[in-house]
Amino acid sequence: MYSWGDDTSDWAKPGAYSYGDSGKEKRDEAAARAREAGPRTYGGREPNMKIVDPKKHIESHSKNPLIIAVDVTGSMARWPAEIFDRLPLLYSTLAQYRPDLEVSFAAIGDAAVDRWPLQVTQFANGFDLEQLLKGIHGEGGGGDAPESYGLFAWWVKHHVAVPNASRPFLVVFGDITMHEKIPAPQIAHFLGDDDVQDANAISTWNDVARTWNTWFLRRPGGKPNDTVDQQWGRAIGEQQVVHMDDEQRAVDYAMGLIARSWGHFGDFKSNMAARQDQKKIADLERRLDAIPRVLVCPSCAAPIPKSAHGRFVCTFCSATVEL
């Protein structure tokens, strides 16, 4: 497991990468707390609802909040552990680019069958993230293909406030379609929101994508432009759906996307070179390079589909954009 702080002795090439001065104080604090806490552990038979109850409302005053959501149903259930393993790496790498980085984690299940279909944490930074992530439990989901991604989108839209941020990143790791209806009884029972009606998951994601730079990082194995791609394309923009080549590099995909957007992709490649062979770096760079630079609506900053041309009417705010 990756360790907190500047120690890279557990990397494939120890000492081949050095973190910058930015964020060092927070990394040193996290390393000290990690030493006091002892060996890292993850898992449990049920979530700690004092930590992950989705009925709460959360807020970040950072200019750089980040939400990482993971489908924890079926074969996806091991991904929280993969992310937990790489948590120090993820935070330490990105926080040196934006020291005010704050992260919230979410686990997504199936509200039709799960006892805890949505689990979410407060925004936090440093070693506090590790304590929060321990509260999440992957329950497993049901037998039907769609999952409750829409319930999560509702929570983001109505329970999350980021007043100082401008389209911060929201990354969803998943592999399947969503239930297109968000039933009002589920919203009331799991999120505690009363006096609501059934909602449409696609339009709810449309609303979320106006505020959040939203990405769906898809588990390897899916076919391009299948029903999963098409549905998520309608929800967040087709160029925001990324097929991953290597499931073990899931966190690297997320970090690479963010580092590229923040203008630090060169440093990120150096970081990855100290942990992976050159082929894996080349494969990830090839995949990210295949993602077109995102055009956004000048009125609402929503993504414009890569297939759009000529005069385009934004599906989010109805503004007309000349391309």
Q: Residue 314: its pLDDT value, please?
A: 81
Q: Please give the Cα distance from 234 to 202 (Å, whole number).
A: 7
Residue type for position 242: V
| Any domain includes 11 | no
Mean pLDDT of the chain: 89
Q: Is residue 10 part of a domain?
A: no
What is the predicted pLDDT for the residue at 186? 97
130-144, 174-188, 282-296, range with greatest mean pLDDT: 174-188
pLDDT for 290: 79
Give the pLDDT band (50/70/90) at residue 291.
Answer: confident
My answer on whether 168 and 308 are in the same domain is no
The reply to whether 57 and 200 lie within a common domain is yes
Q: What is the predicted pLDDT for the residue at 44? A: 66
Tell me if 196 is assigned to some domain.
yes
Residue that has been written with the tokens 């993971």 in this structure: 70
CATH code for the domain in which residue 120 is found: 3.40.50.410
pLDDT confidence band for 285 (50 / 70 / 90): confident
Give the span between the Cα atoms of 256 and 253, in whole angstroms.
Answer: 5
Distance between CA atoms of residues 92 and 85, nearest Å = 13
Q: Is residue 142 predicted with pLDDT exceeding 60?
A: no
In this structure, the answer to whether residues 189 and 305 fall within a common structural domain is no
319 plus 245 within the same structural domain:
no
Is residue 101 located within the same domain as residue 193? yes
pLDDT of 61-111, one tens digit each?
A: 999 999 999 998 876 656 667 777 898 999 999 999 999 999 999 999 999
- pLDDT at 197 (0 to 100): 97
Does residue 2 fall inside a structural domain?
no
Pair 230, 265 in one domain: yes
Least confident of 43-47, 141-145, 155-159: 141-145
For residue 319, the model assigns a pLDDT of: 80
Residues of the domain holding 240: 24-291
Residue at 5 is within a domain: no
Same domain for 92 and 153?
Answer: yes
Look up the pTM and report it: 0.89
Same domain, yes or no: 172 and 316: no
pLDDT at position 313: 86
| Per-residue pLDDT at 301 | 60
Same domain, 198 and 279: yes
Residue 322's CB is within 10 A of a number of other CB atoms, namely 6
In a domain, residue 4? The reply is no
Average the pLDDT over 42-46 and give the result.
Answer: 72
The contacts of residue 70 (CB under 8 Å, 6+ apart) are 76, 79, 80, 83, 105, 106, 107, 108, 172, 173, 174
pLDDT at 294 exceeding the cut of 60: no
Element (H, E) at 132: helix 128-133
For 148-171, how does the pLDDT look when each residue is reduced to its tens digit (9 = 90+)? 999 999 999 999 999 999 889 999
Which helix H or strand E contains 265, and what residues bound it?
helix 265-273
Q: Answer yes or no: are the C-beta atoms of 90 and 192 closer than 8 Å.
A: no
Domain count, the chain: 2
Close Cβ partners of 186 (under 8 Å, ≥ 6 residues apart): 111, 117, 148, 151
Q: Are residues 180 and 302 in the same domain?
A: no
Same domain, 192 and 319: no
SS3 category, 148:
coil
Two tokens, residue 30: 């996290």
List of residues 6+ apart from 215 with CB closer than 8 A: 169, 170, 171, 172, 236, 240, 241, 242, 254, 257
Q: Encode pLDDT of 234-279 as tens digits.
A: 999 998 999 998 888 889 999 999 998 888 899 999 999 999 988 8
In this prediction, residue 221 carries a pLDDT of: 84
Query: Domain for residue 3, yes or no?
Result: no
Q: Is residue 15 part of a domain?
A: no
| DSSP letter, residue 68 | E
pLDDT for res 179: 95
Do 116 and 79 sit in the same domain of this protein? yes
Q: How far is CA 63 from the centre of its chain?
A: 17
